[in-house]
Amino acid sequence: MKLREYQIRLSNDASEILERKKIVCLFMEVRCGKTLTALQTCHLQNAKNVLFITKIKAFSSIQKDYDNMQYQFNLTIINRESLHKIERNDFDIIIIDEVHGYSSYPKPSVYAKEIKKRFGNIPMIMLSGTPTPESYSQYYHIFWLSNHSPFNDYTNFYKWANEYVNIKLRYLGYAQVKDYSDARKKDFWHHIRYYILTFTQEQAGFTTQVNENVLFCEMKPITYKIIEKLHKDLVVKSSDGKLILGDTGVKLQQKTHQLFSGTIKFEDGTTRIIDTSKAEFIKDKFQGYKIGIFYKFIAELEMLKSVFKETLTTDLTEFDTTDKNIALQIVSGREGISLRNADHLVFMNIDFSAVSYFQAKDRMTTLERKENTIFWIFAKDGIEEKIYKTVQGKKDYTNSTFKKDFNVRTTNPNQNNQQANKRGMALFKSN
């Protein structure tokens, strides 16, 4: 394996920035080689011990890049949920993959707090293809992870926002809250621009054309009947007494989303497969092709396993070395992995997030591949096409959008299970 010319250049620049500022941000589009560029930067820094924080799905590809380049520093790869297992603190460099996952505001996330507390003084390489997918206000906590942040003059987000954000008031139900999303990037960009290196697929020479196809699947009558009843009465009851509640706008949106792909999570936390139409449609349509299937809800994975049986795996190495298809959850599988060996990507559901849309559909993209074909499997007359049109416009599919799309009336969040149980109707039987 050899570094591309631009990776050599970027790693040299990154090493200089890291030396001077203790933070460097590699904001490179997907498939441009952020991992190798970061590892090469560590090599140039003569690092001895490096911690790479990423998602479990990316472990094998990162380890493969490290092994192929025969780097001599010690590399520890871990996911953020397991950081508490790291006892040592003698790392020379911390690499934080998909750093936008730590950029919540106005308050930092639990994981962001842990990284800052344990590794804040150590030089950091921050990786992302979409550093601020929701708002430029996300920049504050990205840099806050390090004790060398250019925003250290502001002890918290609120003080920073008072100078750089157009703060607005919004009404959520009966509550009035402050909206901090309208940050003025032009006013603070001069503080952070020298920490950031960007690179696009176009600059890297990618000419891959992504062909998107939407296919519609007719769901079973029971699926449409349950959704119709839920929208009318805000509750549906199974024959064994399990409840589907849509007593708030958010819950109604989530349950509608689940049902249109054939599964449901009941009020008691248990799940059930109601309609296998989508999984069967995918199996029949893509017979003979090696495919990567993206699902949204855990019960959808169980559905896929029940239909595809031994021809399906969730392990990337097994997918790359056998004829099996792979199933990945949209959020966990959208970042840090490559499905270059897939003939097609097939989405049996779609996430509300615009970030998920743009990242997940690029999982097949490589410099050598000139054309990719992905398929979206939507329920006929379902919610998915409405979500699709929204996220294509780089906007998340919010509850207010859902209410407009489905003419949802105001729900009563104080409705209790006893009231719901009286109005419920046993529309379907236990499996």
Among 48-62, 67-81, 344-358, the minimum mean pLDDT is found in: 344-358
Domains and CATH numbers, the chain: 5-204 (3.40.50.10810), 209-423 (3.40.50.300)
pLDDT-based confidence at residue 12 (cuts at 50, 70, 90): very high
Strands 325-329 and 175-179: unpaired
pLDDT in tens, 246-283: 999 999 999 999 999 999 999 999 999 999 999 999 99
Question: DSSP string of 383-426?
Answer: SHHHHHHHHHTT----HHHHHHHHTPPPP-TT--HHHHHHH--B
Cα 345 to chain centroid, rounded = 16
pLDDT digits (tens, 9 = 90+) for 350-365: 998 877 777 766 655 4
Give the DSSP H/E element, type plus range, for residue 64. helix 59-69
How many other CB atoms are found less than 10 A from the CB of residue 140?
27
Asked if 221 and 180 touch (Cβ cutoff 8 Å), the reply is no
Instruction: Copy the structure tokens of residue 238.
Output: 């199974």
Q: What is the pTM of this model?
A: 0.63
* Close Cβ partners of 229 (under 8 Å, ≥ 6 residues apart): 236, 425, 427
Token digits of residue 239? 């024959």
pLDDT digits (tens, 9 = 90+) for 108-164: 999 999 999 999 999 999 999 889 888 999 999 999 999 999 999 999 999 999 999
CA angle (342 as vertex; 389, 129 as ends), nearest 5: 55
pLDDT band at 214 (very low <50, low <70, confident <90, very high): very high
pLDDT computed for residue 367 by the predictor: 40
Phi first, then psi: give them for residue 223, nearest 5 degrees. Answer: -65, -50
Task: Return all residues near 428 (Cβ < 8 A) that are at least 6 apart.
Answer: 222, 226, 238, 239, 274
